Amino acid sequence: MMAAVDQLPFIVAVCEGPDLNLVACNAATRAVLSGRDIIGRPVRDVLSDLAGQQWVDAYYEVYRTGQPITGRQWRAHIEQPDGSVHEMFATFTIVPWLDAGGDRRGVIGAGFDVTELARTRQAAEAEAARLRRRYEQSRDVVTALQGELLPAGLPVLPGLQVAASYLLAEADTAAGGDWFDAVARPDGRVALVVGDVVGHGVTASGVMGQLRAVLQERLDAGAGITEALEAADRLAGRVRAAHAATVCLALLDPMTGELAYCTAGHPPPLLVTAGGVTRYLPASGGTPLATGGSYPVRTDVLAPGDLLLLYTDGILERPGGGPDNAAELAQVAADATAGRALRDPSATAADRVCTQAVELLVRLGGYADDITLLAAQRVPVVPELVLEVPAEPAALRVARAELGAWLAAVGAAEHDAFVLQHALGELATNAIEHAFGGEFGKDMIEVRAKLHPSGLVEATVTDHGGWRVPDRQPTRGRGLALTAQLVHSLRVDPGSNGTVAAVRHQLTRPARLLTRIDQTPMIKPPAETLHITELPGGDEARVRLDGPVDAASAAQVRQELLRRSRGGTMALTVDLTGVTHLASAGVSALHLVAASHSDGQAPLVLHAVPGSPARQILDLVGLPGVTP
């Protein structure tokens, strides 16, 4: 019988008694444990090199509990007679060995050497991981291409709020040929475009970019709907991959609500009235591009508060959609417009429709194609900002807050609001420093801001004083240079009745380009009072600044940092992450502190998160000591 057991092609080990002395094993076991004294010794001694690998513990656990243990592809490092270590994988079972009376006598272990199987599995997993990384890299390239070809931002316009979202397809082909655009035209009207190129991948994305560029150029030049679509049609006739692309093109006058549109083989726009009533506009009868048809135009009128939604068919042709996907889209759009869907009171109705409609409609059944939504709602025109403040540093925060509220009302994005608040803050600071004691005795400055139909903000800071050179540190005088770098244009006109400084800056809002459905994090409102606190650790030379560092607080910052660094003789670390506004006066203060550390014996380290208000300014001025 033992001779037969000895020939079994798998590992067998029989252990007896509480010490689990090995009393029998076959040739396969002896081959694995080559060169060892096996029979009659406790398994803990025979397998001493496996201590800590759970193998020995498993034998004694089975003897103690009477419960079998099974393992699948366990890894073991086994010492060889020559001192080397052999790695093997085994699938095994350890069971109790009972005598004729049912009492526990020992344990029996049986297992298979599955090292080759495990190696094959590992190789397959490594190859799968390599292919997955390659796929993800390819997808990232297409996704990046798609993002570059779509508009960098949507215009912010008087009387109209525009928003868009683009959800990339879940399919392996990644980004497709959907696109959107919003073009503010010289005649005050806005062109809204949503299109869809057949197919996915790099080719579809490239064709989409060409069609979008042609339409954008023609619309920006003042072409009508038919003329613009005919230009795109000619391109599609020359580019095979653009054949049968569909487009919905609408021209809207935000002031009157007059709407003209063409559905070139594309689903018709959805209108959500201010009262919550929804209706799909009639299709115009246009044909897909390069199919030999025409591009007739229909008209309609949007009342104040009405919202127009353009979309691609990916939102309608959902795998898990109901019997009437168009009705579902209309209902969700109405609920989002009225704020009855997901609660997001800080978002505009157009933003809510574009984000919530996608999330609510695809979360049950998913989606198979790219989804693009472009919404525009008529809203009241925000009046021009006119503000007079005393020519004193304490008034700067009041002016900044008023300007921030006005920018929020017109719909400016966070970055543009930061740029304009900073720029006008510098101009106001400059006016305050130069306007005291003016010829007319009016120690007031005037701030004005107006949003033009092109989406351009023109803002001015006017003083009524005479030019005066203030007493200041040599490191000051950066205000105008900073302003010129932040905005699109800067003009300063000194005159006999005072000085007018004007900036012009184009406002845009980013569209949401999504690779998955997610939630937008809440943004903590910035602090409006400067706070200087110590970082954890009890070291007064490691501090954090929160709030505005401007003309009103720069002296406090300079004095406090110099005190904590003992005039630059002790190393100083300053975290600027919480700084909401870093004016040129604040930059000057930091320069003075940096100058006190210039010998390098006691370094100054400034932390500022990339993209934060402080980091944006520090990157412009090149202040030494800045770290990521």
Q: What one-character-per-residue DSSP string does 394-451 give?
A: THHHHHHHHHHHHHHHHT--HHHHHHHHHHHHHHHHHHHHHHTT-TT---EEEEEEEE
Most confident of 293-302, 386-395, 485-494, 517-526: 293-302
List, in order, residues 6 or more apart from 351 with CB less than 8 Å away. Answer: 161, 163, 344
Burial class of 583 by CB neighbour count within 10 A (0 to 12, 13 to 18, 19+): buried
Beta strand pairing status for 604-607 and 626-627?
parallel
CATH number of 385-509: 3.30.565.10
Strand partners, 460: 448, 502
Determine the pLDDT at residue 577: 87
Residues 6 or more apart whose CB falls under 8 angstroms from that of 133 comprise none
Task: Name which of 139-153, 332-346, 480-494 the model is least confident about.
Answer: 139-153
Domain 143-378 has CATH 3.60.40.10: yes
> Using one digit for the tens of pLDDT, what is the confidence trace for 539-560?
888 999 998 888 778 888 888 8
Indicate where the chain has its CATH 3.60.40.10 domain(s): 143-378
8 Å CB contact between 300 and 259: yes
For residue 168, what pLDDT is reported? 74
- pLDDT at residue 466 is higher than 90: no
Taking only the tens place, the pLDDT of each residue in 596-611 is 787 767 788 888 888 7
Residue 111 in tokens:
């297992």
| Res. 148 pLDDT band, cuts 50 70 90 | low
Cα end-to-end span (Å), the chain = 74
Amino acid, single-letter form, for residue 597: H
pLDDT tens figures, 186-197: 888 999 999 999
Intervals of CATH 3.30.750.24 along the chain: 526-627
**pTM (predicted TM-score):** 0.66
pLDDT at 145: 58
- pLDDT tens-place string over residues 264-304: 999 999 999 999 999 999 999 999 999 999 999 999 999 99
Give the model's pLDDT for residue 524. 36
Contacting residues for 1 by C-beta, under 8 A, at least 6 apart: none
Higher pLDDT, 522 or 257: 257
- Between helices 613-621 and 479-486, what is the axis angle to 10°? 110
Report the distance separating Cα 589 and Cα 612, nearest Å: 19
Question: According to the model, what pLDDT value does residue 151 have?
Answer: 81
Q: Which CATH superfamily is domain 526-627 in?
A: STAS domain (3.30.750.24)
Q: Superfamily for 2-113?
A: PAS domain (3.30.450.20)
Amino acid at 141: V
State the pLDDT at residue 455.
92
